[in-house]
């Protein structure tokens, strides 16, 4: 057992219940929204999020990890207004989301840069989010997040990744990384994390579910990390049937304890011109898809309820407990 920080404060890891490991509530570029999405109605967006998250709770999900970090429009006061009205646990994250450069404010600020710093300022800020609270609030981050996509291990991506690894080593908080399995970037992330001393068991390799390449997925999982089968409903990459059959095959090969489920979904997002269009183009990309369609499809394909529970309950719990245990052992 260990304490996990949520928007309700610290809870025991045994209280996490069924967890969707990679979700969002609001995803946006705040400057774009302020200038070009004049339809954004804060109150309506909050009401909509509460209704959708309550619906998820009614389907049996107890916790989501909201991986909205710097670069995706993190706004903790807005999340707090949602969290106080829903029974769902929300774990929020710190870190940064970039595929190439460091976030602009760090371009000239850091060790050896114009504004020289004795230590990596991103790591220091991420640690503050975890230990003191985010943006002057009492809400603490319970997860660390970074990304590596098609451009690969650029200098900026590597700097963020090492900052995330250092924040992990200094705290008990585990890591989730956005990857692009088409270029096998999960392996690149694992290499950098390992160089920083991270136990790869404490990492979720996100978006692994975008791949049907079993050899690649097993190589990642064999190093101890959890595979994020976490984009259910994003059918234009690969469809639900392909995502399900990849999980079925991995479970047959003994990997049930290395898989976690999710959608990478948001209640409100600006990556398509309107929410209506988003729902029209991605009809299954909603919070209820895993419960309503994916779990029944897995069970029909011969996956046991025990294995479903392993993916939704045991693996996310171990993600937090294992990281906390190793942190204690390091001290
Ligand atoms: Zn995401």
DSSP assignment of 310-327 equals: IIIIIHHHHHHHHHHHHH
CA of 264 to the centre of ligand 1 (A): 5
What's the gap in Å between 175 CA and the centre of ligand 1?
A: 13
Residue 226 Cα to ligand 1 midpoint, Å, equals 16
Taking alpha carbons only, the member of 147, 142, 140, 204 closest to residue 173 is 142
At residue 205, φ and ψ (nearest 5 deg) are -90, 100
For tokens 């190589």, what's the residue?
A: 219
87: CA distance to ligand 1 center in Å? Answer: 22
- Domain 3-330 of CATH type 3.40.190.10: no
Tell how far the Cα of 113 is from the centroid of ligand 1, in angstroms.
30
Residue 65 Cα, ligand 1 centroid: separation in angstroms? 10
What sign does the CA torsion over 182, 147, 53, 142 have?
positive
CA dist., res. 249 & res. 153, Å (int)? 30
In this predicted structure, what is the pLDDT of residue 38? Answer: 94
CA 310–ligand 1 middle distance (angstroms):
22
Distance CA 200, CA 236 (A): 30
pTM, whole model, 2 decimals? 0.97
Rounded CA-CA distance 255/272 in Å is: 35
Listed by start position, the domains of the chain span 3-330
**228 CA distance to ligand 1 middle (Å):** 11
Residue 263 CA to ligand 1 centre (angstroms):
8
Distance 81 CA to ligand 1 centre (A): 21
pLDDT for the residue 1: 82
- CA of residue 116 to ligand 1 center, whole Å: 32
Q: What single-letter DSSP state applies at residue 96?
A: B
Query: Ligand 1 centre from 223 Cα, in Å?
Result: 23
- Reading the chain (331 residues) residue by residue, the pLDDT tens digits are 899 999 999 999 999 999 999 999 999 999 999 999 999 999 999 999 999 999 999 999 999 999 999 999 999 999 999 999 999 999 999 999 999 999 999 999 999 999 999 999 999 999 999 999 999 999 999 999 999 999 999 999 999 999 999 999 999 999 999 999 999 999 999 999 999 999 999 999 999 999 999 999 999 999 999 999 999 999 988 999 999 999 999 999 999 999 999 999 999 999 999 999 999 999 999 999 999 999 999 999 999 999 999 999 999 999 999 999 999 998 7
Query: For residue 225, what pLDDT is reported?
Result: 98
Question: How far is ligand 1, taken at its centre, from the CA of residue 257, in Å?
Answer: 22
Q: How far is CA 261 from CA 84, 177, 191, 276, in A?
A: 25, 14, 24, 25
Q: 155 C-alpha to center of ligand 1: Å?
A: 22
Q: In angstroms, what is the span from residue 66 Cα to ligand 1's centroid?
A: 8
State in Å: Cα 67 to ligand 1 middle: 6
| Integer Cα distance of 176 and 167 in angstroms | 13
* pLDDT score of 266: 97
Taken in order 268, 18, 20, 253, the sign of the CA dihedral is: negative
Q: Take residue 38 and report the two structure tokens written for it.
A: 């004049």
CB 53 within 8 A of CB 82: yes
Distance CA 284, CA 295 (A): 14
Instruction: Using the mean position of ligand 1's atoms as its centre, give its distance from the Cα of residue 145 in Å.
Output: 10
Nearest to 146 by CA among 113, 103, 181, 184: 103
Asked if 101 contacts 156 with a C-beta cutoff of 8 angstroms, the reply is yes
**Looking up tokens 């999900």, which residue turns up?**
61
Q: Give the distance (Å) from ligand 1 centre to CA of residue 311.
A: 18
User: Read out DSSP for 61-109?
Assistant: --EEEE---BTTT--HHHHHHHHTT-SSEEEEEEEB--SSSPPGGGTTE
Centre of ligand 1 from the C-alpha of residue 272, in Å: 15
In this prediction, residue 330 carries a pLDDT of 86
């Amino acid at each position: 057992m260990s304490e996990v920080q949520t928007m309700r404060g610290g809870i025991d890891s045994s209280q996490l219940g069924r967890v969707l490991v990679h979700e969002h509530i609001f995803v946006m570029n705040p400057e774009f929204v302020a200038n070009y999405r004049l339809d954004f109605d804060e109150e309506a967006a909050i009401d909509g999020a509460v209704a959708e998250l309550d619906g998820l709770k009614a389907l049996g999900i107890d916790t989501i990890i909201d991986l909205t970090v710097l670069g995706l429009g993190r706004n903790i006061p807005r999340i707090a207004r949602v969290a106080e009205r829903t029974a769902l646990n929300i774990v929020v994250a710190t870190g940064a989301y970039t595929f190439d450069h460091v976030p602009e404010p760090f371009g000239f600020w850091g060790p050896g840069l114009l504004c020289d710093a004795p230590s990596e300022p991103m790591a220091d800020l991420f640690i503050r989010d975890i230990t003191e609270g985010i943006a002057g609030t009492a809400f603490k981050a319970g997860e660390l997040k970074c990304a590596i996509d098609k451009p690969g291990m650029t200098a900026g991506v590597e700097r963020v990744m090492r900052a995330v690894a250092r924040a992990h080593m200094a705290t008990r908080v585990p890591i989730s990384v956005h990857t692009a399995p088409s270029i096998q970037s999960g392996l690149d992330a694992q290499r950098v994390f390992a160089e920083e001393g991270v136990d790869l068991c404490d990492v979720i390799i996100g978006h692994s579910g975008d791949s049907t390449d079993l050899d690649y997925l097993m190589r990642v999982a064999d190093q101890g990390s959890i595979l994020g089968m976490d984009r259910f409903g994003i059918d234009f990459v690969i469809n639900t049937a392909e995502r399900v059959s990849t999980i079925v095959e991995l479970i047959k090969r003994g990997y049930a304890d290395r898989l976690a489920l999710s959608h990478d979904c948001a209640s409100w997002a600006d990556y398509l011109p309107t929410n209506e269009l988003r729902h029209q183009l991605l009809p299954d990309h909603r919070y209820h898809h895993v419960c309503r369609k994916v779990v029944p499809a897995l069970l029909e394909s011969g996956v046991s309820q025990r294995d479903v529970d392993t993916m939704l309950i045991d693996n996310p719990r171990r993600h937090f407990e294992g990281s906390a245990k190793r942190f204690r052992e390091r001290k």
